[in-house]
Amino acid sequence: MLIEVDFAGEVPIYTQVRDQIVIGIAAGLLKPGETLPSVRRLAADIGINVHTVNKAYSLLRDEGFLLMDRRSGAEIAPLMTEDPSFDELLSNKLIPVVAEAICRRMDIEDFCLTVRKTYSFIKRGGK
């Protein structure tokens, strides 16, 4: 799976890498047990520093998306189990976004429509 980085963007590089791997897992492009490139390898491929990749990997490990082993490297963790507490976390993330949509006079069902479109977009591997 190709990972690309926008150096000019506002989003930190390690966040971009983290997000793209999460998106890859969601799309099914990265399956549980699959190994990721080593931190040195990915850093060289993208053209960024090893520590930046390591930060992204460590974050993903802490979030439960990756398993890391000193010897064998990083691999995709088994499918996560449903987590009821994610609902509140999600809601907190959505509050400012939904509020802005309301201000921009977007109908809530149009919002949900965009959510479903985004869902399909991810599922089909990003267009």
Residue 15 near residue 9, CB atoms below 8 Å: no
- Phi, psi angle pair for 20, to nearest 5°: -65, -30
Which residue number, 3 or 37, has a Cβ lying nearer to DNA?
A: 37
The entry of DNA, its own copies, none near residue 106 (CB within 5 to 8 angstroms by kind) is its own copies
The encoded tokens of residue 28 equal 């099914």
The entry of DNA, its own copies, none near residue 76 (CB within 5 to 8 angstroms by kind) is none
Q: H helices of the chain, where?
A: 13-27, 39-46, 50-63, 86-103, 108-123
Cα–Cα distance for residue pair 93/75, rounded to 1 Å: 27
DSSP state of 8: S
Work out which of 69, 82, 88, 109 binds DNA, going by CB under 7 A: 69
Q: Tell me if 30 contacts DNA by CB under 7 A.
A: no
Q: Shortest approach of its own copies to residue 50 CB, angstroms?
A: 24
Cα–Cα distance for residue pair 47/23, rounded to 1 Å: 21
The entry of its own copies, DNA, none near residue 115 (CB within 5 to 8 angstroms by kind) is its own copies
The entry of DNA, its own copies, none near residue 124 (CB within 5 to 8 angstroms by kind) is none
Total of residues contacting DNA (CB under 7 A):
27
- Which residues of the shown chain bind DNA in the complex (CB under 7 A)? 12-15, 36-41, 48-52, 54-55, 57-58, 61, 68-74
